[in-house]
Amino acid sequence: MVALSFGFHGCAPLESPWIGGVKLHVLPAGPIQTNAYLLTAPERGEAILIDAPGEIWADVEPILTREQCRLTELWLTHGHWDHTQGGAEIVRATSVLVRAHRDDQVLIESPRVMSAFLDSSIKLEPIKVNHWLTSGETLSALGTTIEVRHVPGHCPGNVLFYFSANSAAFVGDALFKGSIGRTDLPLGNHAQLERAIRTEIYTLPGSTMVYPGHGEPTTVGHEMQTNPYVRA
């Protein structure tokens, strides 16, 4: 049995500067090259990680050491295995605070429910979530505020993290460059995903950079005009 992909292909690791002294590190990892996003603020000595594909700690730790940052939080866009496989190792190594949406509680805290879709070589460990996110909630990290939006359909608990000061949204597997998340998997719902993209992603400013769970970034405006699955 082969592992099912929950998205599309990854992109090469890269680092880019953000405003406010924050650096964005894009780190594809795991069996299907899921994008993890490490945000570091060296002047503050602080870092957060968005999603935790398999063996991501090996990529994250050297960056934290080099930039003299402490990883304080792990934010999960949703509970599919390829976004959570490395989470337990992260927690053991750092004692981070873990945030996710409660609609994916079973997937995150009892990941064995996904074993029917995976090769037996893929090992999953439960992750204890410390804080359940709600849509419209505001988080504070890295010297800025971040809005949480619920974008279900690919997965019941998929959320996005919107950094308005940086015009960036980390959307999990809801939207990709030229595509959308799969809805043929258990608990997927195409109509729900299409509605959520229109109401929660396409209502962001068109210049907003969209950082997906797989593949290259895009912008809200580009997808509104060209995405063949969900147009504005």
Task: Write out the H or E segment, with its range, that includes residue 65.
Answer: helix 57-67
Our CA angle for 185, 186, 191, nearest 5°, is: 70
Domain count, the chain: 1
Domain residues for 44? 14-226
- Establish if 3 belongs to a structural domain: no
- Establish if 134 belongs to a structural domain: yes
Residue 23 in contact with residue 8, Cβ under 8 Å? no
Mean pLDDT value across residues 61-73: 97
- Establish if 207 belongs to a structural domain: yes
pLDDT band at 21 (very low <50, low <70, confident <90, very high): confident
- Establish if 232 belongs to a structural domain: no
- Establish if 231 belongs to a structural domain: no
pLDDT band at 15 (very low <50, low <70, confident <90, very high): low
What digits encode the pLDDT tens for the residues 189-200? Answer: 999 999 999 999
Work out whether strand 23-29 and strand 14-17 pair parallel, antiparallel, or are unpaired.
Answer: antiparallel
Residue 74 in contact with residue 52, Cβ under 8 Å? yes
Residue 30 in contact with residue 6, Cβ under 8 Å? no
pLDDT of 6 > 50? The answer is no
- Establish if 151 belongs to a structural domain: yes
Closest listed residue to residue 200, CA positions, set 134, 148, 142, 155: 148
Which has more confidence, 189 or 2? 189
Q: Report the SS3 class of residue 17.
A: strand
pLDDT of 206 > 70? The answer is yes
Specify the amino acid at residue 51.
Answer: D
CATH of the domain at 192: 3.60.15.10
pLDDT at 210: 97
Q: Which two tokens stand for residue 155?
A: 């997965």
| E strand segments, 116-224 | 131-133, 138-141, 144-150, 159-163, 168-172, 175-176, 179-180, 209-212, 218-219
DSSP label at residue 181 = -
DSSP label at residue 7 = S
What digits encode the pLDDT tens for the residues 133-167? Answer: 999 999 999 999 999 999 999 999 999 999 999 99
pLDDT at 2: 24
How far is residue 199's CA from residue 64's CA, in Å, rounded to a whole number? 36
- Establish if 116 belongs to a structural domain: yes
- Establish if 6 belongs to a structural domain: no
What digits encode the pLDDT tens for the residues 75-97? Answer: 999 999 999 999 999 999 999 99
